[in-house]
Structure 1
């Protein structure tokens, strides 16, 4: 019985142990299954996440590609728009310019028609002309004003000559004024040298006048050619130069101020102390160093040829050097916009010292268009000094002159000498090249200079420098307008 009980107890223990083992095995298998399920879930989640990431990446890539494509398309469109805008702007500007030229052409045609009507009497107008004038009263007033100014300008440019009796009467008056004057000065212009073959500047046949007229002349008519070069060495002092020198040497005239660069005053024997060549002398060059130090006769070198062959406005080096200090020599010419730079030649000190005592100013052969701007020269007029103008054309100071003489300088000075009393009438010698004062002081070229320039330039260009100032600009403007109108047509 006890054995049976113990056997049953042992069987119960075995059963309990086996049951416990089964339970533990079940737990372990369940844990393994749970782990496997979790692992599978994790793998599925990772796969899903990976797929989502890949989908997002592909989506972003597709968006980037589409963005790049859109940017390229917009860039292409912007370039096309820019080109179209530029073409549109060009077309718009061309249309505006074409419209402006058309308006200018119509305006020019109306002005031309009105200008012709203004120059004709009203009785010769047609009904259309009268209607046109009534429709444009302001334009007619403007054209009549221009016509009046043009007639006035033509009258002023016209040359007039006093008859012999009038000239003799005026010369007698001038002789009386000269004898009464304590200090008399003479201002000379290009008209004094025309008899020697040098053309004047603003006269009826002057360089500036012919050049300006040719620039606006009718192209169907052959213009009168203006001289382009001039050989100054071939010109000689005239009777007027000799007479003026004699008047200075005789004490009738105290000083001469000249605008001419031809050197004819010095060549006639006029002393440099009584002469102010305010625009320079074409036969003189100087050393700026020696002239300031008072060496080598004020640093001046006279030549028997025109020294301005290589010079121009603001460029005064003549191509030769000073023998004393090797400094480049300069010409003495004063161009437009330049100041005096050679005191021994321009000699402003000489005339300025006399101006307070001047009571008579005699102008010979100058239009005074330039000289009137030299204000110090006209200070004596404020102190009641007498002004006498001898010129073939009108001058800006005619209204202030005590006497205006219309004659050539040679004719007037000859009449003046005859009107002076015998006691004060100086003898006037003829010009003699052998006694030419400027040629006598001429310095020959050194061997090196002679080798460098066997034939120095002896011709001065009349279309360069101060001779043709203001003409070329008008020619360019007229040519530009003409070309634009031709292109429009």
Structure 2
């Protein structure tokens, strides 16, 4: 049934072969008449398209034979479109196939001498509802984040390279030296004026006022009084900060790696699929849960009261209290009180920072 698309091409070829003089003599308007004729032909094509091969007339069969080259070309084009469409579809392995692949993965993890994990946005999406969240500090480390930290503690993973800005690897307990956050961390602002890069880890998203090529957060360094900047690397920018990007650590880990596990990339086809020894089509939490079972390891549970960010953070000074309108991360017992106070100061809901989404435009509050 793929041949129908070619009929329009055949008819159109006949139309454009008419001489300009004949079109003038017949008073055919070039813009209106030809398009009208072509539209009529398309209508006939659509009628033919609904016919089965047995219902085609002799004239229709002869017409197809005359356009055989075009028919073959259209078949090839349709085949390519179908392949491309399939590549854009998200695929999930059935439960048995998923278990089979995870067993192969567990064997690779056990045998690895230097394993590196690369992570993308897919490992974080279950940690918060993108469509409903008003502040990404509401997100918490997922089962996948916690499993990665456990694998590191068991010396099965040597380094983690992430393109996520959400700081959830840090909050899951993964050590700074074992982590490269190539696109920055939404909780970290730095002073680049000090001779040694000075970091300030906060309990809120520091990117409220920042966007592409505009990284000043509005707060000042406690030592040199220089303006602090966020650590986010937007699309089109080059990340030059030593931390939290840690490019040196990522490069060293890649050179030593004998196994690289990519998590949270895509369930669709990618151009690099053929380079992978194993591709698993499954949700990250499902895959990591099965992997931990195969490795006889307990799946750790995130405990907000023990979130390491509380011990690493620098508190705001009194004069900085009004420098942001983000919700604070706080232990369960005090978080409700702090966030209620924060909301009363805001007078409106928070907006997403400039790094969220494309990262090329600053979040703004909607006008009433």
Settle same-fold status: TM greater than 0.5. Answer: yes
Report what 2:171 is aligned to. Answer: 267
Structure 2 partner of 1:329:
228
Distance 1:461 1:316 in 2: 11
For residues 59-70 of structure 1, what are the structure 2 equivalents within 5 Å? none
Higher-Rg structure is 1
Query: Who is 1:445 aligned against?
Result: 316
**Aligned 8 A contact 2:109 2:115 in 1:** yes
Q: In the alignment, does 2:113 pair up with 1:182?
A: yes
* Alignment-derived partner of residue 414 in structure 1: 289
Q: 1:245 aligns with which of 149, 152, 163?
A: 149
Please give the residue correspondences for 1:26-105 in structure 2 after superposition, counting only pairs within 5 Å.
none
Task: Say whether residues 1:432 and 2:303 are aligned partners.
Answer: yes
Q: Is the 8 A contact 1:111 1:143 kept in 2?
A: no
- Structure 2, unmatched stretches of 5+, are 1-28, 328-348, 362-368
Cα drift, residue 346 of structure 1 = 0.8
Q: So what's the TM-score if we normalise by structure 1?
A: 0.55
Query: Which residue in 2 is equivalent to 1:396?
Result: 271
Per the alignment, residue 168 of structure 1 pairs with 99
Over 3 Å counting, the alpha-carbon distance change for 1:319 and 1:461 in structure 2 is closer
Does residue 308 (structure 1) correspond to residue 207 (structure 2)? The answer is yes
Shift of 1:243: 0.5
Deviation of 1:183 (Å): 0.5
> Structure 1 residues 327, 365: closer, same or farther in 2, change over 3 A?
same
**Greater share of helix residues, 1 or 2?**
1
- Among candidates 79, 98, 106, match of residue 148 of structure 1: 79
Deviation at 1:449, TM superposition (A): 2.0
Distance 2:102 2:149 in 1: 18
Aligned-residue RMSD, C-alpha? 3.9
Q: 1:397 to 1:312 in 2, by over 3 A?
A: same
- Cα offset for 1:109? 6.4
Verify the 8 A CA contact 1:231 1:458 in the aligned structure 2: yes
Instruction: Provide the C-alpha distance between the structure 1 equivalents of 2:305 and 2:113, rounded to a whole number of angstroms.
Output: 35
Residues 237-286 of structure 1: CA distance to partner in whole angstroms, max 9, x if unpaired?
11111011010111001011111111111111111111111111111111
What does residue 89 of structure 1 align with? none
Matched residue SS, 1:405: coil
8 Å contact from structure 1 (residues 230, 461) kept in 2:
no
Q: CA deviation at 1:452?
A: 4.2
Contact 1:188 1:259 in 2 (8 A): yes
The aligned residue for residue 231 of structure 1 is: 135
